[in-house]
Structure 1
Amino acid sequence: MASTILSLVPPTPGLLPKWLLFTALISVGNSIQAYTTLKFTARVYNPTPIDPPPTTPKHVTALSSRTFGTWTFLAAVIRLYAAYHITNAAVYQLAIWAYVCAFGHFVSEWVVFKTTRWGLPLAGPVFISTGTLIWMFTQWDAYVVA
């Protein structure tokens, strides 16, 4: 059993490919929950403090949650490919862009559109995307074959 699981781990040395696999798997789980419940997506996209009750808008609908789930699944596929093909420059760049899009989305929803506010549900995706981007930019030469 353990050898079967270990055979699924990306063969490239280093932690970055394993991290990309981990974030891909978490993203798949996030996609599934976005399709099955609004609870967790609504924790991220919550009304801002400036929304007056009782007319507080509902930022999360079933449609928006499924759309977010689809977008997240696409990012998971890109991360999965990057985990196993990390030496390919084009795949590495696609993974970087997937994290840039995630960072841009979450920060713009917070700063520009005000559909979320700073807190644990938002901090996770922001820190993961930021940290992974820094890691990927600094490790390009260690993984990408020229």
Structure 2
Amino acid sequence: MLTFTQRKPPNPHTAVTLTLALTAQERTRSRHHFETEDGQIVCLRLPRGMVLQNGDILQDETSNSMIRVIAKPEPVFTVTAQTALLLIRAAYHLGNRHVPIEITADYLRLSPDLVLRAMLEKLGLKVHEEVLPFQPEGGAYGHHHTY
């Protein structure tokens, strides 16, 4: 079994032997066994607290094999607003609830939650159910991307 212990910066030119599709939650697991899309079991043994990002490359501890991590499509709510202020207000309220969210200038994205959906709609935002890669913000206190 391949055991990946090192993270390399994303690089589209790196020769990889495998691809590992992981949900946002799975990308927070630094020590776990996963199955690749072709059925191979791999082990991650990375420093605790490391959060993987879409495109990260992991290196096996003995064979130097490389695997690329990709963000796996998963159910999400995509939130849009008619004004930037409404979108900022929604981000504020979701942040107060410590909800992992993906933030862009045009939308917010979060894991499905019916209570949060009702709150967002009451605030005047539109909520769309989709199945897409989810890449939430890492947080200001240590869940950032380091190499």
TM-score by length of 1: 0.25
Q: Please identify which structure carries the higher strand content.
A: 2
Q: Please identify which structure carries the higher helix content.
A: 1
TM-score by length of 2: 0.24
